[in-house]
Chain A
Amino acid sequence: MGRDGKLVSLSEAVAHFVPDGATVVMGTCLESMIPFAAGHEIIRQGRRDLTLVGPISDVLFDQLIGAGCVARVMAAWVGNVSAGLGHAYRRATEQGVPRRVEVWDYSNFAVSLGLLAGALGVPYLPTRSLLGSDVPRRREAFHAAADPWTGERLLLVRAIQPDVAVLAVQRSDPEGNAHLWGNLGVTEEAALASRHVVLLAEEVVEPEVIRSDPNRVLVPGFKVSAVVHCPGGCHPSPVPGYYRRDHAFYEEYHRRSRTEEGFREWLAEWVWGVPHREAYLARLGPRWDALRRVQPAPAAPVDYAW
């Protein structure tokens, strides 16, 4: 790995920790903190046969599926949250274009329970959700059972232990001790359940900054394999404290990805046409500056006085 320990470039992190055939969990905060920069690098490196895990991912999964990187999706929802259906996902599942994708249906709660089981190191967790639903139809992931004490019906959700979690955070130290704030979704479970964790950090900070507020730490650094300094890495999704959601970008993707040809053109412009995130942000131009104009809303400081 990199000469500086865990602190590596995005292309190094993807090359090393996201091999062909890997099971990758991403999009764990739901509509915010989506590591689009990593997804685009996965596409540029031509990764194949990935299994994607996530509750919803907004359009990140749609893009990876359309680019032909994905063999299987384990998710509750794949589409475009503010604009509608996922056109690339539809082409893959309905027509096998550019390839067939196996769908394991989940609900959001089921994804979080699968990852939580993985994080706790147990084979499954029970739930009362989804009883009578057609969602849990994959026997590899769900099993009907009874409460051993009362006999009540339960659904067992099998543990998910991904090869790698690719997660965005606001700030990390070079060892992967990182602060994440805002809605957490399934991020903690995903980090704890996975063999490797790759962090995309808006800022890389001194360890003292992180240690000043240990309650805000995502997972301890020993669980983290790589830290990538990647400002703007989540655009068009928002990062609380840093930038807002680019709604129009999702609308544009939705419009252009309606046809296979339009999708290819979009990919050529925003993924193949930019070698790295800096070039992508430069292409956004003044639009990127506008998204970064946020209203300050600092938290009251906490005091760990001893």
Chain B
Amino acid sequence: MRGEAVRDWTVGELMVVAASREIRDGEVVFVGMRLPLLAYCVAKRLHAPRSVGVFENGVVRDSPTPELLYTMSDTPNIVGAVWCTRMSNVMGLLQRGDVDVGFIGGAQVDRFGNVNSSYIGDPDRPEVKLPGSGGAADIASLAKRLVVILPHDRRRLVERVDFRTSPGYGDGPGWRQRVGLPRGGPSAVITDRAVFRFDPVTCEAVLHHWHPPQSLEEVLEHTGWRVRVAEGACPTPEPSPEELRVLREYDPEGVWTGRRDDRGERG
């Protein structure tokens, strides 16, 4: 992930803020680790004070944690939680349709929003064995909306993923219904270069924003399929001073918004 400072914010911070804007007030949010965790805190403190966070380890909380988390099972995520329970209960919320939006990461995403976090190359003789689904495939299958967050280059944003860990829109319109998924599908892909949304008719990822100071052409060049650009596409709105202040209060050292290397992504 490119984390060098541009203007007065990092790309990581821009991604967190973009992700936080995907959370609406009052929503039940299945929070993934790292950037989504920060996104939830920013949303909670600013525009979505009544949102509730659900974690796959069995934690439900409606307040930001007293300090930065490295994992969802860190002790500061337990204190002040509204529910500590078994995974099957929180996954049950997801399966019943009680979760509005979920966040996942991944190694690859394709034009129909399918996400790979399992294998690069042949699964029986993998070139790279990635950590696996975690809860990502469940979140992608069952949440009403899905937001995917990942670094952006031609090997990651591909025409077709090597392995469909987390189902997006499969091979296009009607696929989710055909395979029996009850609802949902990706609503946004947020990368360190751009924000994509999905065409409700064709189900393909369409570019809506690119992160300044890059140009649109640069983003397209780093994407592994011929991307459709939305009418009215524009540079990503910059983080407001308020958003940056809240984010930096929570992660003053930039643990999750600075430069990191090969973190395995997990939903």
Which chain B residues numbered 31 to 68 have a C-beta less than 8 Å away from chain A? 33, 55-59
Contact (Cβ within 8 A) B131 A79? yes
Measured in the bound complex, the distance between the Cα atoms of B128 and A115 in whole Å is 29
A45 close to B (CB within 8 Å): no
Contact (Cβ within 8 A) A29 B95? no
What chain B residues lie within 8 Å of A259 (beta carbons)? none
Distance (whole angstroms) from the CB of B55 to the closest CB of chain A = 7
Q: How large is the interface on B (under 10, 10 to 19, 20 to 34, 35 or more residues)?
A: 35 or more
Interface-centre pick from B55, B58, B136, B166 (highest chain A CB count, 10 A): B58
B191 close to A (CB within 8 Å): no
Instruction: Name the segment of A6-14, A89-97, A266-274 touching the other chain.
Output: A89-97
Contact (Cβ within 8 A) A77 B181? no
Contact (Cβ within 8 A) A77 B33? no
| 8 Å CB contact of A94 from B73, B88, B127 | B127
Contact (Cβ within 8 A) B87 A184? yes
B172 close to A (CB within 8 Å): no
Contact (Cβ within 8 A) A31 B72? yes
Contact (Cβ within 8 A) A297 B133? no
A83 close to B (CB within 8 Å): yes
A131 close to B (CB within 8 Å): yes
Closest chain A residue, CB of each to CB of B256: A82
A215 close to B (CB within 8 Å): no
Contact (Cβ within 8 A) A186 B84? no
Contact (Cβ within 8 A) A85 B130? yes
Measured in the bound complex, the distance between the Cα atoms of B77 and A188 in whole Å is 20
A294 close to B (CB within 8 Å): yes
Measured in the bound complex, the distance between the Cα atoms of B136 and A108 in whole Å is 8
| 8 Å CB contact of A109 from B87, B167, B170 | B87
| 8 Å CB contact of B182 from A82, A105, A128, A244 | A128
A238 close to B (CB within 8 Å): yes
A106 close to B (CB within 8 Å): yes
Which chain A residues numbered 152 to 190 have a C-beta less than 8 Å away from chain B? 152-154, 181-189
| 8 Å CB contact of B137 from A129, A238, A240, A295 | A129
Interface class of chain A by DSSP? loop
Which chain B residues numbered 109 to 131 have a C-beta less than 8 Å away from chain A? 118, 123, 126-131
A-B contact count (CB 8 A): 208
What chain B residues lie within 8 Å of A187 (beta carbons)? 86
A135 close to B (CB within 8 Å): yes
Check A112/B72 contact, CB under 8 A, given A85-B264, A107-B135: no
Contact (Cβ within 8 A) B180 A107? no
User: What 0/1 readout, one digit per residue, does chain B (151-182) give for beta carbons within 8 Å of chain A?
Assistant: 00000000000011111001000011001111
B218 close to A (CB within 8 Å): no
Check A107/B75 contact, CB under 8 A, given A77-B266, A90-B129, A132-B170: no
Measured in the bound complex, the distance between the Cα atoms of B132 and A116 in whole Å is 21
A44 close to B (CB within 8 Å): no
| 8 Å CB contact of A76 from B94, B132, B142, B179 | B132
B251 close to A (CB within 8 Å): no
B263 close to A (CB within 8 Å): yes
Contact (Cβ within 8 A) A82 B71? yes
Contact (Cβ within 8 A) A238 B58? no
| 8 Å CB contact of A133 from B74, B137, B262 | B137
The interface of chain A, by Cβ under 8 A from chain B, is: 29-33, 55-56, 58, 75-86, 89-90, 93-94, 103, 105-110, 112-113, 116, 127-135, 137, 152-154, 181-189, 237-238, 240, 244-245, 247, 294-295, 297
Interface pairs (22), CB distance under 8 Å: A58-B71, A76-B132, A77-B264, A80-B264, A82-B71, A84-B261, A84-B264, A93-B129, A106-B132, A109-B88, A109-B91, A128-B181, A131-B180, A133-B167, A134-B165, A135-B133, A135-B137, A135-B165, A183-B72, A185-B57, A189-B86, A240-B78
Taking A82-B71, A105-B118, A129-B95 as known contacts, 10 extra A-B pairs with beta carbons closer than 8 A to each other, sorted by chain A number, are A81-B71, A89-B131, A90-B129, A108-B138, A109-B87, A132-B181, A153-B179, A183-B55, A183-B73, A184-B84
**5 closest Cβ pairs, A-B complex:** A153-B180, A79-B131, A132-B179, A31-B73, A32-B73
